[in-house]
Amino acid sequence: MKKTIATFQQMKDEGARISMLTAYDYSTARLEDEAGIDGILVGDSLGMVMLGYDDTLPVTMDDMIHHTRAVSRGAKDALVVADLPYMSYHLSTMQAVENAGRLVKEGGAQAVKLEGGAAFVDEVRAITRASVPVMGHIGMTPQSVNAFGGFKVQGKSEAVARQIIDDARALEEAGAFSIVLECVPAKLAELVTKAVSIPTIGIGAGAGCDGQILVYQDMLGMYSNFTPKFVRTFADVGASMREGFASYIAAVQDGSFPAAEHTFAISDDVIEKLY
Ligand code: KIV
Ligand code: NA
């Protein structure tokens, strides 16, 4: 059965932990969905893991819609959330609503995510008013990499920690259905999770959140540029792919692939006529 934002709230209320992963294409979404994932995020991390950019800033609305469409077709049960990319909601509430609407109408997403807390409550309210559920994202928000001076843990000082708690409260108050907490100290994430009644989804934020999310290439050993401290390799699919590719190349080179069973037959009569 299709999971909804109500499923997420019910899971928090019952103390059941929510599992989320990113996906950017049909086949991966399908595999995650069949495994029983609760939610799939079409993250703007696709700029890095799918497109090879150094950060998420170059990702466009067209990129997001293209990948969201594919994921929506593969996610039978999982809630599909799509990221609003950098500069797609910063100019005005009107721009934010229009682009959130595109992710739903053209991409088939059930909800959108944007980075920011108290500073973006007008956008969260406006998008929610258009009946598009919004997931907030606070702590280390990658679209602010230049403002932060790098991908760094946020909320170690009292001032920033307090701001993160205030941001979470402001997001809930503005109508967000859930909040991603990225790279914040585990004890702060626990405090935030208790401070709001909507589910928190952590990444690098410890086990005290209501749910967890990871970029799938990170947890499958498929993105070797950089492995953050908070990642566990659940299956080394990257190594399997490298092995698979290498044995294919070797089999092509030594002529053992394709074998007879991989070929199509033609009758000898027809072949004779061709001579
Ligand atoms: O883009 C993304 O993958 C994300 C998650 C890491 C939360 O925003
Ligand atoms: Na993102």
161-177 pLDDT, tens digit each: 999 999 999 999 999 99
Look at 204-208, 226-230, 253-257, 259-263 and tell me which has the smallest mean pLDDT: 226-230
Q: Of 28, 37, 40, 41, which is best to mutate to test ligand 1, by the most ligand atoms within 8 angstroms of its C-beta?
A: 41
Domain enclosing residue 86, as ranges: 5-236
174-203 pLDDT, tens digit each: 999 999 999 999 999 999 999 999 999 999
215 lines ligand 1 (CB under 6 A): yes
Which of residues 238 and 228 earns the better pLDDT score? 238
Residues involved in catalysis = 182
191, 196, 68: which is closest to 136 by C-alpha?
Answer: 196
What pLDDT does residue 227 have? 79
Which phi and psi angles does 203 have, rounded to 5°?
A: -140, 110
Residues 90, 76 share a domain: yes
121-157 pLDDT, tens digit each: 999 999 999 999 999 999 999 999 999 999 999 999 9
Residues 225, 113 share a domain: yes
Residues 51, 12 share a domain: yes
178 lines ligand 1 (CB under 6 A): no
Is ipTM strictly over 0.95?
yes
203 lines ligand 1 (CB under 6 A): yes
Residues 166, 43 share a domain: yes
Pick the atom of ligand 1 nearest to 46's CA: 1
Largest CA distance in the chain: 86
Residue whose Cα lies nearest atom 4 of ligand 1: it is 43
Residues 228, 104 share a domain: yes
213 lines ligand 1 (CB under 6 A): yes
Residues 265, 150 share a domain: no
> What's the Cα-to-Cα distance from 155 to each of 101, 160, 166, 192, 261, rounded to whole Å?
32, 5, 12, 11, 60
Section 221-238 average pLDDT? 91
218-228 pLDDT, tens digit each: 999 999 877 78
26-36 pLDDT, tens digit each: 999 999 999 99
Residues 248, 180 share a domain: no
Instruction: Tokens for 266, please give them.
Output: 């033609």
Residues 103, 172 share a domain: yes
What pLDDT does residue 225 have? 76
Helices (H), the chain: 5-14, 26-35, 46-49, 61-74, 93-105, 121-129, 145-148, 158-174, 186-195, 216-219, 237-254, 268-274
Residues 248, 221 share a domain: no
What pLDDT does residue 178 have? 98
Is the whole-model pTM more than 0.95? yes
Q: Is 166 annotated as a binding residue?
A: no
Is 90 exceeded by the pLDDT of residue 74? yes
Section 76-81 average pLDDT? 98
Is 90 exceeded by the pLDDT of residue 112? yes
Instruction: Tokens for 126, please give them.
Output: 């406006």
83 lines ligand 1 (CB under 6 A): yes
- % of the chain surpassing 90 pLDDT: 98
Q: Of 18, 45, 49, 180, which is best to mutate to test ligand 1, by the most ligand atoms within 8 angstroms of its C-beta?
A: 45
C-alpha 137 – ligand 1 centre gap (Å)? 9
Residues 216, 113 share a domain: yes
Q: Is 113 annotated as a binding residue?
A: yes
